[in-house]
Amino acid sequence: MRARVRAACEHFVDIAWDPADLAARRIEDDALDILIDLKGYTLGARTSLLARRLCPIQVSWLGYPGTMGAAFIDGLIADPFIVPPGHEQFYSERVLRLPHCYQPNDRKREVAKPLTRAEYGLPPDAFVFCCFNQAYKITPEIFACWMRLLEHVPGSVLWLLEDNRWATANLARAAQAHSIAPARLVFAPKLPLAQHLARYRVADLALDTFPYTSHTTASDALWADCLLVGLCGETFASRVSGSILTACNLPELISYSLDDYERLAYRVATDKPFRDELRARLATAKTGAPLFDAPTFTRDLERLYSDLAGRR
C-alpha cells in the first residue's frame, strides 16, 4: 500500500522520524495551502505540529473519529450520516461533508481464496457470526447480546479476532458466565490483509460493536461479500458503520437500539430469503454503490479541497 501511495504522488516527503522543529521548518518552507491531519489523538500523532499553525487551513480527517476540540483545527471532514444537520454544535471544527461516506475504499483490494471452514477451525454446517474488531471495542452489553444470539440460533458460533491472550481468556470466561460453551467462540489469528479478508467469505454475518462501531472492519466485511448488522448512536465513532451501510445501499441493516440490533441480527440469521435478498444487493454494490466508487470519491474530495483553498 505504501508503495502504491508513494508512486501515485507528485511529491512524497517522509517526515515521520524528523524532530518537531525540523518537520515544522519543512512544512513552512514548502508553503503548504492545506494540511490534513490523519491521526488526531492516536499513537504516533504529530498534533504539536498543527498546534504551531503552520498552514492557513488545517483539517482533521479519517484517523480520529471525533472533534479535536482545538482552535488550530479549522475543519473536520465527515458526511451527512455521521454528522447530520443540526449536530454541528458538538464539533469545534467547521463540519465539511463529503456527499457520501467520508471513508475512502480501495477497489483494488485483493481477497485471497478462502480456506475451508474446517481449516479455519469452524464447524462445517454452523451459522457463523463474526466480529473482527479489536477486543477493546467489545463491551459487556454487546457481548451479552451476542451470547443471546448464540443461545437462540442453535449450533451457531461466534468468530472473533485473536487480539491478545488476556482478551481471549476473558471472553471465553464471559461466555461461560452466560451459559454458552467457550468452544462456540472461535478465535482467528492475525493474517496478511488478503488472507484475512478471505475469512469473511466463509462467515455468514458480521456483527457491529458499540459505541465504537466497526469502521475499517465494516467496509472490509462488505467488500468481501459478508453482510453486516450495524448499531448506531449519536457520536461520530458510533455512526461510522451506519454511514458505510448507507453508502453501500443497505440502510435496512442499520439499527438504533440494542434490542433492535439483536432482533435484526436474529432475523438475518434465521430468515434465509431475507438474507439471500440482502446478499444479492450486496453483490451489486461492488460496482453500483457509492461506498466502492473510488473515482467519484476522489473527485468529491478534490472539490472539497478546491473549495477550501478558494476560501483563503
Question: What tens digit of pLDDT does each residue of 228-245 get?
Answer: 999 999 999 999 999 999
- Give the model's pLDDT for residue 108: 86
- Give the model's pLDDT for residue 107: 87
Cell of 133: 474488531
Question: What tens digit of pLDDT does each residue of 27-38 get?
Answer: 999 999 999 999
pLDDT at 290 over 60: yes
In one-letter notation, the amino acid at residue 75 is G
The answer to whether 28 and 15 have CB atoms below 8 angstroms apart is no
Question: What tens digit of pLDDT does each residue of 61-79 get?
Answer: 999 999 999 999 999 999 9
Mean pLDDT of 259-280: 98
- Is the pTM higher than 0.75? The answer reads yes
Write down all domains in the chain, each with its CATH number in brackets: 2-97 (3.40.50.11380), 117-291 (3.40.50.2000)
Residue 287 CB partners (closer than 8 Å, separation 6+): none
Rg (CA), the chain: 21
Look over the chain and give the mean of its residue pLDDT values, rounded to a whole number: 96
Rounded distance between C-alpha atoms, residue 67 and residue 22, angstroms: 28
Q: Taking the CB of residue 187, how many other CB atoms lie within 10 A of it?
A: 16
Question: What tens digit of pLDDT does each residue of 99-110 get?
Answer: 999 999 988 899
Residue 265 CB partners (closer than 8 Å, separation 6+): 129, 145, 149, 205, 207, 229
pLDDT at 312 over 60: no
- Give the model's pLDDT for residue 231: 98
